[in-house]
Amino acid sequence: MADASNDSLSGDNDIEIYTPDEMLRMGLKLLKWEDNQLARVCRETQVTRCIGHFAANPRVYAQMWEDLQTTFSKVARICQTTNLGWSWSSSRRGVM
Q: Pick the more confident residue, 82 or 4.
A: 4
Domain count, the chain: 1
Tell me if 68 is assigned to some domain: yes
End-to-end CA, the chain: 32
Tell me if 6 is assigned to some domain: no
Q: Pick the more confident residue, 56 or 7.
A: 56
Instruction: Show the domain range for 54.
Output: 15-88
Would strands 2-3 and 78-82 be described as parallel, antiparallel, or unpaired? unpaired
Cβ–Cβ < 8 Å for 61, 27: yes
What values do phi and psi take at 71, rounded to 5?
-70, 150
Tell me if 39 is assigned to some domain: yes
Tell me if 10 is assigned to some domain: no
pLDDT confidence tier of residue 20, bands split at 50, 70 and 90: very high
Tell me if 41 is assigned to some domain: yes
Tell me if 53 is assigned to some domain: yes
